[in-house]
Amino acid sequence: DVRKILDPEEYRAFGRPNGSPKDIKFAVKILENAKKPLIVAGGGLIASEASNELKLLSETYLIPTGTTINGIGSIGSNLKTFLDSYLINSSYRTAASEADVVLSLGCKWDYSIFYGAPPIWNQDQKIIQVDIDPKEIGKNRPISVSIIGDCKAVINQLLNEMEKNLTKSKLTEWSEWNNYL
């Protein structure tokens, strides 16, 4: 009895799961009210091959962006919105302590970012956590909204929703925050 060897397309999922549209809208509503947003990109973002989308989000909306150790290389170090990959950098530490909203993309809130704990991280921040693995959501830090999905797909959803909702005055405000850092 001989069994046929299946092609990978026949036994693997190849799609990119989107985030819930309700959660996307809620996340954008939180971002609309942010004065000092911060993006933190991790290994999940690299695994989803979302570096170009991250760059577009960060540069278009002038949101300061740092990475975890596993997220190194997910955004170019030459971008004016890039902070660093290590929280020993003073700009990244300042952003972590002063940001009012953190968009976490494929990050484990682990030792590499001090578990999101004080005094480095502001405990009054609203956290929007995006991860394909539901077990990572809210693991070491309380969150405001969870979006379970592929980082690449979710960033594209966020970009579409933000384009409809964010004002020019918000971009000016975020630009000033980015320049401050």
| 108-116: Cβ within 8 A, 24+ apart | 108/42, 108/43, 108/68, 108/70, 108/136, 108/139, 109/139, 109/140, 109/141, 110/68, 110/140, 112/68, 112/69, 112/70, 113/40, 113/68, 113/87, 114/87, 115/140, 115/141, 116/140, 116/141
| pTM tops 0.75, yes or no | yes
CATH fold group of domain 15-180: Rossmann fold (3.40.50)
Average pLDDT of the chain, as a whole number? 94
pLDDT at 9: 74
Q: Give pLDDT tens digits for 116-163.
A: 999 999 999 999 999 999 999 999 999 999 999 999 999 999 999 999
Tokens standing for residue 33: 């009210």
Rounded-to-integer distance, Cα 37 and Cα 52, Å: 19
Q: Give pLDDT tens digits for 31-54.
A: 999 999 999 999 999 999 999 999
